[in-house]
């Protein structure tokens, strides 16, 4: 069995450049929506097992066939709302969702391409009804927490928008928190300003100037307020002020090293910029706190792949898929397959490439790439390097 595959060596450069484009394409844009344009609403609540809302705003994802279509934050009482209808504009960047992977801070997030709403991504079946087959609503990945998933079916604008409750359970013995302890320790005036900022973020058309002013008040009153620094970083990031956003995230990390959100903000900035050294660094920081955090494993795998640190890239991506996250992060199957092919692990590489082709949305796999991958799979089979008719799918066990 050969130890290196020339086709893959040639394709590394092509793959690396196209992968950055795909990563940017799936990064969500938090958007404002004009009043009166909504044609379908989904709502619910996120509550802890004891019936109380979580102490800090969290994200809820609308996922269809493994792709995040919208993201929305919870209000202080745990409620969330997805509103779908006309095309949106005024994009903001969300620093926590990546392949899908998680810190949103506005009431509507459109993860689709510009001018396309989440509702455009699911088929209408006539008479104002929409099929949500293959769609579900879930809590965005939160280290130290697990929750149920709400599956969706056919709905119409006249239906009761309430889809139920996402019940969250805290895992024991976690070393990391996505809920900043600074919220609990902040003085009254600082916490009041922070709560005003988060309340404004939950509005239909949030005012970033008001949000920034309230967060600055909170920080002035309580400079150690890591949650306020983190949220300020996201606002600055949304305004295109990456340098100030970086400073705010770093200050949040300095004040509370086990608070995960600012690490995710720094990681998302690095991934979107293609700064793979930094992406590897910040994703590694997250993994030091939670070795199984899916988004960090995904970023770490991609970053190390692009940095030619193939052993570490293989370790992170293999761990991601062994934990069952093929549907959420199908794109990483291709670099994992490339790594295994160049290691001479052809059976594993073939399975990963087949799974990649099955799991990725068809419109995100260029026709030329699909043909080339299928030809490579056929060549391996003709050379007797793989078994004929390998069976795989999103639920398949990874090697």
**Domain spans in the chain, listed from the N-terminal domain onward:** 6-23+291-382, 33-170, 182-259
Report the topology of domain 33-170. Immunoglobulin-like (2.60.40)
Show the low-confidence residues of the chain (pLDDT under 50).
Answer: 1-38, 86-126, 173-176, 390-397, 399
Opening angle at CA 222, ends 219 and 223, nearest 5: 65
The position carrying tokens 């295109």 is 240
> What is the CATH number that goes with domain 6-23+291-382?
1.25.40
pLDDT score recorded for residue 55? 62
Contact 3/343 with Cβ under 8 angstroms? yes
- In the chain, DSSP assigns E strands to 29-32, 38-48, 59-64, 67-73, 79-85, 89-93, 109-110, 124-126, 129-130, 135-139, 145-147, 150-151, 155-156, 162-170
Rounded Cα distance, 246 and 226, in Å: 13
pTM of the predicted protein model: 0.65
Name the packing angle between helices 261-273 and 294-306 (round to 10°). Answer: 30
pLDDT score recorded for residue 144? 62
Evaluate the CA torsion angle 131, 155, 109, 102 in order and state its sign. negative
Evaluate the CA torsion angle 198, 199, 202, 208 in order and state its sign. negative
> What does the DSSP 8-state code read for residue 177?
B
Query: Domain 182-259 is in which class?
Result: mainly alpha
pLDDT score recorded for residue 278? 97
Neighbouring-strand partners of residue 365: none
Rounded Cα distance, 257 and 289, in Å: 10
pLDDT score recorded for residue 132? 80
C-alpha count within 13 angstroms, C-beta hemisphere, residue 15: 22
Would 6-23+291-382 and 182-259 be classified into the same CATH topology? yes
> Which tokens belong to 166?
């996402």
């Amino acid at each position: 069995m050969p130890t290196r595959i020339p086709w893959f060596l040639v394709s590394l450069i092509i793959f690396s450049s196209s992968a950055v484009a795909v990563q940017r394409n799936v990064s969500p844009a938090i958007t404002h929506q004009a009043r009166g344009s909504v044609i379908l609403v989904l709502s619910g609540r996120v509550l802890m097992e004891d019936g109380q809302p979580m102490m800090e705003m969290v994200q809820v994802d609308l996922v269809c066939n493994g792709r995040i279509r919208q993201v929305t934050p919870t209000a202080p009482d745990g409620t969330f709302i997805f509103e779908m209808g006309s095309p949106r504009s005024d994009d903001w960047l969300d620093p926590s969702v990546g392949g899908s992977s998680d810190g949103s801070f506005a009431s509507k997030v459109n993860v689709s391409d510009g001018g396309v709403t989440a509702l455009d991504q699911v088929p209408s079946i006539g008479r104002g009804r929409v099929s949500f087959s293959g769609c579900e609503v879930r809590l965005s990945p939160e280290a130290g927490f697990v929750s149920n998933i709400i599956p969706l079916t056919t709905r119409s604008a006249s239906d009761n928008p309430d889809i139920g409750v996402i019940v969250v359970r805290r895992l024991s013995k976690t070393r990391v928190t996505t809920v900043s302890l600074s919220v609990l320790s902040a003085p009254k005036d600082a916490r009041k300003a922070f709560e005003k900022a988060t309340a404004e973020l939950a509005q239909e058309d949030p005012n970033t100037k008001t949000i920034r002013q309230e967060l600055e008040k909170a920080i002035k009153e309580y400079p150690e307020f890591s949650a306020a620094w983190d949220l300020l970083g996201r606002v600055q990031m949304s305004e295109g002020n990456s340098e100030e956003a970086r400073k705010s995230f770093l200050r949040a990390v300095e004040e509370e090293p086990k608070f995960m959100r600012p690490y995710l903000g720094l990681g998302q900035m690095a991934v979107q910029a293609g700064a793979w050294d930094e992406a590897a660094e910040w994703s590694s920081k997250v993994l030091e706190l939670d070795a199984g955090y899916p988004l960090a494993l995904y970023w770490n795998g991609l970053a190390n792949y692009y940095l030619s640190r193939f052993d570490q890239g293989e370790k992170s991506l293999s761990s991601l898929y062994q934990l069952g996250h093929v549907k959420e992060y199908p794109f990483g199957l291709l670099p994992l397959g490339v790594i295994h092919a160049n290691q001479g692990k052809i059976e594993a590489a073939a399975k990963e490439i087949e799974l990649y082709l099955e799991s990725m949305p068809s419109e995100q796999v260029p026709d030329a790439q699909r043909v080339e991958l299928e030809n490579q799979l056929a060549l391996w089979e003709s050379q007797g390097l793989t078994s004929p008719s390998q069976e795989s799918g999103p639920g398949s066990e990874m090697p």
